Amino acid sequence: MNCLQVDNLIQTSLDRVLTLSEKERLADHLETCAGCRAAWNEHPRLARLAGRWVAEAGGSRENGDVFTAQVLAQITSRPAPVSPSAPLWGHPLAAMGLLLAALALLPLSVWPDLPTVGASAHALPGWLLANGRALPADMAAIWATAQSGLVVPSWLWSALLVAGAVNGLFYARLTQSRRKESVS
């Protein structure tokens, strides 16, 4: 055994009882190594010193009632903590739903003049002309209904987009603060 292994074994002896084999190996090494014999004496002294030093920091036994009363006063004088369930702002599903709704409504407000089959060529947007495509008849009917019955101003999809983004930011912050509570 080298001295590093012996030092580990000495420290282990502070935390648990060594096996017979470990004791024998340790004793054999200590017979011949003055440095490790010093470690064998010093580690327990350090442990005793540390134990006393830590215990002394606990303060007086006399002020316990005052301390406890102060803690309980802080607890009972505050409003109830927020429920751990997911809040409205910061809910991941709400954020995703708002963003998807905004994306779905975006075409209805951005392209209100999307033509149906049979419309004159000049009404078609450039990309449709370039591809030579147009809406099929059933989709054209749906589109016409949507245009006539559903007024989707641009501010609505913008509001949904912003709401979704803000909700997502709240969720990110909540996740970050919850993660901070666990010691890394």
Closer of 70 and 154 to other proteins (Cβ): 70
Q: How distant is the alpha carbon of residue 52 from its chain centre? A: 39
Tokens linked to 33: 């190594």
Residue 19 CB, nearest approach to other proteins (Å): 12
Could you tell me how many residues of this chain bind other proteins (CB under 8 A)?
Answer: 54
91-120 positions binding other proteins, by CB under 8 A: none
Based on the shown chain and the rule CB under 8 A, indicate whether residue 145 belongs to the binding site for other proteins. no
Contact by Cβ (8 Å): 85, 93: no
Based on the shown chain and the rule CB under 8 A, indicate whether residue 5 belongs to the binding site for other proteins. no
Closer of 66 and 130 to other proteins (Cβ): 66
Residue 64 CB, nearest approach to other proteins (Å): 6
Q: How distant is the alpha carbon of residue 59 from its chain centre? A: 37
Based on the shown chain and the rule CB under 8 A, indicate whether residue 88 belongs to the binding site for other proteins. no
Based on the shown chain and the rule CB under 8 A, indicate whether residue 44 belongs to the binding site for other proteins. yes
Applying CB under 8 A, among 26, 98, 102, 160 the residue interacting with other proteins is: 26
Chain positions contacting other proteins, by CB under 8 A? 7-8, 11, 13-15, 17-18, 23, 26-27, 30-31, 37-59, 61-62, 64-65, 67-68, 70-72, 74-76, 81, 84, 181-184
